[in-house]
Amino acid sequence: MLISNAYAQGAAALGGDWVQFLPIGVMFVLLYFMMIRPQMKRAKDHKTMLEGLQKGDEVVAGGLLGKVVKVGDGFVGVEIADNVVIQVQKPSITQLLPKGTIKSAS
């Protein structure tokens, strides 16, 4: 005969089905601790920094170094030079600098 007979396999061992999903579960746990959790921490720290923003703080906003002169709900006035004030969105402020950084940078 040209076609061989097909035989059914024996029953699988009990409790062995969950083992094949273990690597996927380990990958999700690693993904959470290596990517998702640190990103959530950075977002929380950034939000805290923006909420604590005050007049006179020195910041980096969109690559520009300046001093905060006005704080609003969604926008911040940043003085980048003498008598030059620009309005930037709060989320564009990336870094809060120590006092005196502008004087030492110029």
Range of the domain at 46: 15-51
Residues 60 and 104 in one domain: yes
Whether residue 25 is contained in a domain is answered as yes
In a domain, 5, yes or no: no
**What pLDDT is stored for residue 13 in this prediction?**
58
Looking up tokens 């905060």, which residue turns up?
68
Instruction: Give me the tens of pLDDT residue by residue for the chain, a chain 106 residues long.
Output: 678 887 777 665 556 677 888 999 999 999 999 999 999 999 999 999 999 999 999 999 989 999 999 999 999 999 999 999 999 999 999 999 998 888 877 6
pTM of structure: 0.72
Per the structure, the count of domains in the chain is 2
Rounded-to-integer distance, Cα 80 and Cα 82, Å? 7
